[in-house]
Structure formats: structure tokens, C-alpha cells
Amino acid sequence: MKDGISTVQQSISNIEPAFKKAWTGKQKFVFRCAFIFFTIMSVPTDYGYYMMLLHFDWLNLNYRHLTELTAFFNPQFLNIYSESGFFGPASYINWLLVLGIALLGALFWTWLDKKRPSYHDLYYLVIVFARYRVAYAGISWGYKKLFVMQMPEQFEAIWNTNLIDFLVKRLYWEVLGVAPVYEVWLGFAEFIAGFLLLFRRTTAIGAALAFVVFGNIAVSNHAYDIGEHVPSALMALLALFVLWQYLPYIYRVLIKEENALVPVYYPVLNKWQRWIRTGLKLVFNFVLVALFAWYEVKAVRTNDFYKLPNTPGLADVSGIYEVSLFKRNGVVHPYNPLDTDRWQDVIFEKWSSMGVRYVNKPQQMAMFSAGSYPRVGEPYDGRLHFDWRGDLRRYHLEADGTFSKESKWPRDVKIDWEFAGMQGRVFYYYEANTVNQVLQLMNKNRYHREEKMVLEFRRPNSKTIILKGMDDRKDSLYIVLNKSDHQHPLLNKK
């Protein structure tokens, strides 16, 4: 016991002299590179990010705004429009760009500053940048899972779509969503890692947990082509950078079974600097932790889940319906699984969405994580493209730099989770006039919103719906729908 105490006392006596020791030239050059690289990676650099902030309704903040504020922002000045550029090694091209900037900057810095013996203050500063960057990212995405928002529970369309019509990434999302408790635990792991990084005494354990959590997310993103592997890998890299100074001492304790005291440097601040530091911590932690949690709770209480519509649909109609009678322009189309002019089946969700399964009605597939995919009209040529503004798409900016025109549409029209990463069914947002018994429908796919229908509806009984009107081809329709009695156990679990 005495030997252990004396060893710790000896370590304490060696800490202050260690901070006064001059660094070698190699150490200083490596630090200069690391400082530039990790500072750029920790601070938002995209023009689109700041344009997005200017378009926030700051007087009416909600959890979506705070997610956009703290979620992943990577330097994205270079893009390679190819499979590797979106899902593989080429998607890390901007890391190489920033590393090149860091090397050039370090060379210039070395030429300017040859006499400084060490950079303890700047090392502390860049650790703070990385620490809080990972902390708020972990907390924000942890909230999404803790409140079961990122992978919402299944609905009618999921269980009534052919397996072949799913992208593998959507299947991965749904596998996680089947077990909300598991999703909550994943969210807790992200949240607690971020929360521990907010405090000096728990920085090491928070960084270690964040490295494992975000590293696992990055691997999963690669395996299932989800498209968020680069920001996830960045969070793991930043967490490892924060943890780096602790690793030799963790090794001594866990592997060599020796006592170790980590010599962590903290700068001496004057009074006004301490006030500024405390004020910034209070403001950011209040807004991005406490207020964020309040907005999440408010969203759950008001049924404002960002991936799910919340406009109530027709009462007592949700379910899948078989098409027992279908007439187009007065001509009866009997059931035929190959008939391109006939509706195959119809789904009504709990909200104001109606999904129609066609044999052949090509639609542009909606993609969640849209910033990681080429959009309509963008090249898919495998060539390198540069834009000094960064990735405008992630921040809802159009190619001309203007803010997204999507804002003009009602909330539920813009939400495409029902069909993102899926094919085989067309979803229509509808507004129901229950007095005149009329449905006004619009295709929810942003690339096909010109497709509209106006249909009269009648409900002779609780399981039958009769539709009559004009479709988007200006053909007259007369359709009789009968609700299926089939129940999916996981969809109707009690």
C-alpha cells in the first residue's frame, strides 16, 4: 500500500516539470499538423451550414433546428459521383484534402515559429474543440434514438411491400426499428458518451465509449450502404484524438498493472477568461442538452416525429385493401398481377397517406440521408467535382445557392419516410372533405408532385370503400376496395 502511495506521489511531483520540458522538432511539427487538421474537422466550414442558420426561425426553435445545428457537418468541398465516392473509400477524399492543407500549414507555421518550445495551450484548445464536437453530436443523435425517432416503429406499408423492393439500408433500419427497446439502448450509449465528454473528469471514459459507438456506426454504414459513414468515422477519429493522451497510462494500468497518474494540462486563466469559459459552457449546455431534451419531449407529446406524418387520416380506415372491382374509363379490369392499368392493392395509413401498388409506374426513389446520394440531374460520372461552398444538399440549399423550395409544401407532403429506400408503391398525401366525401390526392414524391387525383369516396360498411373520380392520367376510375382481415403480429402487437 505504501509503495502504491509513494508511486503516485512521485508521479505528481513529475507532472509540472514535464509541462516545462521543450518539445522536439518532430513533436512540434506533428502537433502543428494535428492542430490544423482536427480544428478544421471540428468546426463547421461549409457555406451551406451558415446559410442554413440564417434561415432558421430562431424565435420558434424546435428539435429539428437543434439537430441540424449539432449533427454531422464535414468539410465537403470535393465530391466523386460514383459508388466508391458515395459508399466506399473515395468518399473520404475530403479528409485527404484537409490533411494536405494541414501539412502545408504546418510547414508554413514551422517557418514562422521556430523558437516556441511547446504548444500546451493550443493542444488543450484543440482537444476542447474535438471534445465538444463529439459530445454534442452524441447527445443529439442519442436523443433521436432515446425517443424512438430515428428508426420509428413499423406501419402498414413496411409489412405489405415485397422484400425485393427494399434497399438493404432500409431493411437494416427496419430491423433496428422492430425492437424499440434496443434502439433506446443504442441511443443511451450515444447520449452517455457525449454527456461524459462534457466534463473534464469523465473525458477519458466518454471518449473511449464514443470511439466504440461511432466506430460501430461507421462500420454498419459501410456494410449496408447507409451513406453516413464519413461523419460517423470522423466522430470516432475525433474521440480517438481526445483519448490519445490517456492511452499510455491506460496501458500501464490495464496491461502492466502499474499505478499511473495522467499528466493532463489545464491552462491558467485570468478572471475574465474564466467568466467567458463558464458563460459559453452554460449557454451551449443549456441549449444543446437541457433545451434540446425539452423540445424532444414536447415533440413526442404532440406527435411530431420527424420521419412520420401526423395529420390524422380518415377515421377507422387504416389497413391494406384488396381491389375487388376496378374500372378505367368504364372498362372492367379483372384481377391480373401483370395488368399495368390496374391497381393491385391499396394501403391507408393512420395518417393522411394512401399507398397504391402498381405493376409498372416508375418513380424516382426517395433517399434518406439525401446528402450522401446523387440527386436528379447530377452527374454520376466518377469524376472529381469541386465546390468551394461545400455540400449544399445536406443543408437544404439548391444548386443556385438559394434555400430549398420544399418549404412551400405542407409538413406531411415533405415527409417521405413511408417510401424512402423502397419501391413498388406510390404514396399520395390526401386532404379529405368528409362533408362532400371527396379526397384530393397528391403524389408525395418530390419529383412527381404534378400527379394528382380527385376522388369521391363512399363507405357502405366498415370494411368497404368505393372510390370514383379522375386519376393523374385524366382517366375516369371506379374502384371498390375491401379491407383485408390479415393482421401482422408485429404491427398489431398489444
Residue 3 and residue 259 in contact, taking contact as beta carbons nearer than 8 Å? no
Euclidean distance between CA atoms 206 and 198, whole angstroms: 9
- Residue ending a domain, choose from 251, 275, 301: 301
C-beta separation of 175 from 162 below 8 A: no
270 and 139 inside one domain: yes
Residue 58 CB-half CA count within 13 A: 5
Domain match, 297 and 380 both: no
Distance, in Å, from the CA atom of 220 to the CA atom of 85, rounded to the nearest integer, reads 17
Domain assignment of residue 312, yes or no = no
Q: Is residue 167 part of a domain?
A: yes
Number of domains in the chain: 2
Q: Is residue 272 part of a domain?
A: yes
221 and 345 both lie in a single domain: no
Residues whose CB falls within 8 Å of the CB of residue 396, separated by 6 or more in sequence, listed in order: 52, 55, 403, 404, 406
Phi, psi of 406 (to 5 degrees): -60, -25
265 and 370 in a single domain? The answer is no
The per-residue pLDDT for 82 is 87
Mean pLDDT estimate for the chain: 89
Domain boundary, last residue among 252, 270, 301: 301
Pairing type for strands 331-332 and 319-328 reads antiparallel
What pLDDT was estimated at residue 385? 87
Cα angle at 246 between 241 and 247, to 5 degrees?
Answer: 85
Q: What integer pLDDT is reported at residue 13 of this predicted model?
A: 54
**Cβ distance 285 to 198 under 8 Å?**
yes
* Residue 213 located in a structural domain: yes
The continuous run of DSSP H or E covering 452 comes out as: strand 452-461
Cell numbers found for residue 202: 469523465
**What is residue 35's predicted lDDT score, i.e. its pLDDT?**
97
Residue 296 sits in the same domain as residue 325: no
Q: How far apart are CA 151 and CA 357, in angstroms?
A: 24
Beta bridge pairs of residue 430: 441
pLDDT of residue 71: 78
**139 in any annotated domain:** yes
Residues 331 and 295 grouped into a single domain: no
**332 and 245 assigned to the same domain:** no
Same domain? For 292 and 325 the reply is no
Identify the DSSP state of 388: T
Chain segment 156-171, per-residue pLDDT in tens: 888 888 888 998 889 8
Instruction: Report d(CA 136, CA 302) in Å as an integer.
Output: 25
In contact, 71 and 140? CB cutoff 8 Å: yes
- Indicate whether 273 and 381 sit together in one domain: no
* 482 vs 276: CA distance, rounded Å: 66
Q: CATH code at 433?
A: 2.40.128
The pLDDT, as a whole number, for residue 369 is 66
Count of CB atoms situated within 10 Å of the CB of 446: 18
Q: Is residue 493 part of a domain?
A: no
Per the domain annotation, does 189 fall within a domain? Answer: yes
Based on its alpha-carbon atoms, the radius of gyration of the chain, rounded to whole angstroms, reads: 28
For residues 86 and 155, membership in a common domain is answered with yes
Question: pTM of the predicted model, to two decimals?
Answer: 0.90
> Are residues 205 and 246 located together in one domain of the fold?
yes
Residue 63: count other Cβ atoms within 10 Å of its Cβ. Answer: 24
Evaluate whether residue 78 is within a structural domain: yes
- Write out the three cell numbers for 375: 440527386
* Contact criterion met (CB below 8 Å) for 193 and 140: no
> CA 425 to CA 160: how far, in whole Å?
10
Final residue of a structural domain among 268, 301, 334: 301
Query: Range of 423's domain?
Result: 319-483
354, 476: one domain: yes
β-pair partners for 354: 348, 428
- Give residue 36's Cα distance to chain centre: 26
Tell me the pLDDT of the chain (494 aa) as tens digits. 455 555 544 555 555 566 668 888 999 999 999 999 999 999 998 888 888 888 888 888 899 999 989 876 788 899 888 888 888 899 999 999 999 999 999 999 999 988 888 899 999 999 999 999 999 999 999 999 999 999 998 898 888 888 889 988 898 888 888 888 999 999 999 999 999 999 999 999 999 999 999 999 999 999 988 888 999 999 999 999 999 999 999 999 889 888 888 888 888 889 999 999 999 999 999 999 999 999 999 999 999 999 999 999 999 999 999 999 999 999 999 999 999 999 999 999 999 999 999 998 988 888 776 556 667 777 788 888 888 888 777 777 776 667 766 667 888 998 999 999 888 899 999 999 999 999 999 999 988 999 999 999 999 999 999 999 999 989 999 999 999 988 777 666 55
User: How many other C-beta atoms lie within 10 A of the C-beta of residue 101?
Assistant: 15
User: CA-CA distances (angstroms) from residue 480 to 20, 378, 485?
Assistant: 84, 42, 16
pLDDT in tens, 83-126: 888 888 999 999 999 999 999 999 999 999 888 888 999 999 99
- Round to whole Å and give the CA distance between 445 and 448: 5
Rounded to 5°, the CA angle 282-286-292 comes to 160
